[in-house]
Structure 1
Amino acid sequence: MFRQNQKEIKSYHQKYFRPSCLRALNLRFSTWDFFAAFYDKTHDQIKIPPQLTITPEDTVLNYFSILREAENMGGRSCGTIGQAKIPFPIAYNFLSREYQNKLSYEGYVQSFSGIGHTSLIKLCRVPDGKRGIRFFYEIETIVGAKGKNAEYFGYSYGFISLVHGEEGFRISEIGKIDEDFLCAPYHGWDQDGEAVVEVKYGHWCNLIQHIYPTVRNEYIKNIYFHGKDGADYCFIFAVLSNGTDIEIAQFRKGGNDEWKQVDRKPEEECVRNNETH
């Protein structure tokens, strides 16, 4: 019976909350049973069960699963939305102590102003040896329109960093950028990964000898080229719901060496240097 109910609940969420074709990833807590233990507790009275933060992936998925039905819309005429504000104090405890010192609980809840539902639709761990554990993510939210008794779908993306402590993994930083659906169709090359590589490393830096065919796996693009310096390069992009490609990592391989992560900045290395000569 429990499995059947879980399946029905997941189908219910997909039917009413999902305009995009991507499957929602944050469906781990679909019943009241989980939230019941926290409903009367404040954020400083909550202790996250350790099994929720054993791995970085589990930490992020559980965090967004808790936030899925959190709402901060200022009330709707149809009654209670999801789990109302009960998820916020739970989710806040997924942040590291250092992050909480920078972001108060009140500020954290305010950052969700207008949002009534959140679906995590993309999650990819980003290779980042310098900055530790890091993920790219994209969310689809139901947002209340100001001054109207109506909602619309909004899309945002960003990067999440995590640290490991005695109590498991915790989120040490979250970046969030709202997606625009008008710039890509009307404006240029910097929305497209292949064009970005060709312009920045071909025209600006004069580094490209030849470009290899793009390798795409769902929403991840790997763009390779062989450089005039004899090395091979790989640039990894994530494709957003609005069609824009976002660079998430760079790698260089010289001769028979292994791939090494790099952080080239063509705007500084090529454009500014050319302007000063």
Structure 2
Amino acid sequence: MQKRKKMDMTSYHQKYFRPSCLKALNLRFDNWEFFSPFSEKAHDQINLPPELTRTPEDTILNYFSVLREAENMGARSCGTVGQARTPFPIAYNFLSKEYQKILSYDDYLKSFAGIGHTSLIKLFRVPNRKKEIKFFYELETIEGFIDKRAEYFGYSYGYIQLIHEKEGFRISSLSKFEEDFLCAPYHGWNHDGESVLEVKYGSWCKLIQQMYPTAKDGYFKNIYFHGTDGADYCFIFVTLTNGTDVEIAQYRKVNNGSWIQVYMNPEKECLTENPLQ
């Protein structure tokens, strides 16, 4: 009798939970043993092992790995989903003490209403002159509600800031924006990086003298132009799952000098009224 091959759990998760082509990044705790010591504890009874938060990257990857199989969508006909609500009290302890004062555990739990599975599909550190620890992320979630017997995939993105506390790096703020799949086809210019620059810095600010070819690397876009002020500019965008380009950073270079990060706001600097409002 032929021996049955042991199931590759990574392939299993990718097959059933991942319709997109990007690999999930939050796969650190692909076992039941990690959650067992926390299963009967409330959020204020949990102390995270220090190795989970030694670096900013560890904190974020471990945070989303804990949340990967967290479920807050009501009873499902197939029985228990993932680790049910066990991961939420653990994940809450990745937040800084000050952040927890602003966001109670009950409100934190409510923010996951309708979510049954979470895959982290994009993560990178955002450059900034203030030396803040800031990351960009994108999530793919399986969502559904008890009054609608169907699940669907949702996509969102945002920014995470971290600080170092005595116990390690903790999340001090987290923003989240839901992605839409209808606005871009009908109102495309504000979703496409090249068009954004041509409209805002060309038509509004009269700053573009010549656009250069866009350099693409995976989901990153580096868009260059030569300015009417004699300087060169580079804008970095990241492309979301829904095709929208999100601006991440701006750089300016004069003659043969170095690229210097800048922070320009065309709505405030070039217009008296914001046409997007």
TM-score normalised by structure 1 residue count: 0.94
**Distance (whole Å) between structure 1 residues aligned to residue 89 and residue 222 of structure 2:** 39
**Distance (whole Å) between structure 2 residues aligned to residue 258 and residue 83 of structure 1:** 50
- Specify whether residues 273 and 21 from structure 1 end up closer, same or farther in structure 2 by C-alpha distance, changes over 3 A only: closer
Partner of residue 197, structure 2: 197
Deviations 1:157-206 (A, max 9, x none): 11111111221111011100111001111213001000001111111111
SS of alignment partner, residue 200 of structure 1 = helix
2:91 pairs with 1:91: yes
Q: Report the CA distance between 1:258 and its aligned residue.
A: 2.0
SS of alignment partner, residue 41 of structure 1 = coil
Aligned 8 A contact 1:94 1:170 in 2: yes
Q: Pairwise mapping of residues 237-252 of structure 1 onto structure 2 (< 5 A)? A: 237-252=237-252
Greater alpha carbon shift after TM alignment, 134-143 vs 207-216 = 207-216
Q: Report the CA distance between 1:241 and its aligned residue.
A: 0.5
Partner of residue 48, structure 1: 48
Partner of residue 256, structure 1: 256
SS of alignment partner, residue 159 of structure 1 = strand
**Distance (whole Å) between structure 1 residues aligned to residue 146 and residue 243 of structure 2:** 27
Kindly provide the amino acid, as one letter, of the partner of residue 207 in structure 1.
Answer: L
What is the RMSD computed on CA atoms of the aligned residues?
1.7
2:195 pairs with 1:183: no
Q: Report the CA distance between 1:50 and its aligned residue.
A: 1.0
Aligned 8 A contact 2:74 2:146 in 1: no
* Structure 1 ranges of 4+ moved more than 6 A: none
Partner of residue 162, structure 2: 162
SS of alignment partner, residue 195 of structure 2 = helix
Partner of residue 17, structure 2: 17
Q: Report the CA distance between 1:273 and its aligned residue.
A: 8.5
Aligned 8 A contact 2:75 2:146 in 1: no
**Distance (whole Å) between structure 2 residues aligned to residue 228 and residue 274 of structure 1:** 23
Overall identity of the aligned pairs, in %:
68
Partner of residue 64, structure 1: 64
SS of alignment partner, residue 149 of structure 1 = strand
SS of alignment partner, residue 116 of structure 1 = strand
Aligned 8 A contact 2:73 2:145 in 1: no
Aligned 8 A contact 2:73 2:146 in 1: no
Kindly provide the amino acid, as one letter, of the partner of residue 179 in structure 1.
Answer: E
- Specify whether residues 274 and 69 from structure 1 end up closer, same or farther in structure 2 by C-alpha distance, changes over 3 A only: closer
Aligned 8 A contact 1:145 1:152 in 2: no
Aligned 8 A contact 1:72 1:113 in 2: yes
Kindly provide the amino acid, as one letter, of the partner of residue 32 in structure 2.
Answer: W
Q: Report the CA distance between 1:251 and its aligned residue.
A: 1.3
**Distance (whole Å) between structure 2 residues aligned to residue 218 and residue 134 of structure 1:** 21
Q: Report the CA distance between 1:259 and its aligned residue.
A: 1.7
SS of alignment partner, residue 201 of structure 2 = helix
**Distance (whole Å) between structure 1 residues aligned to residue 251 and residue 145 of structure 2:** 42
TM-score normalised by structure 2 residue count: 0.94
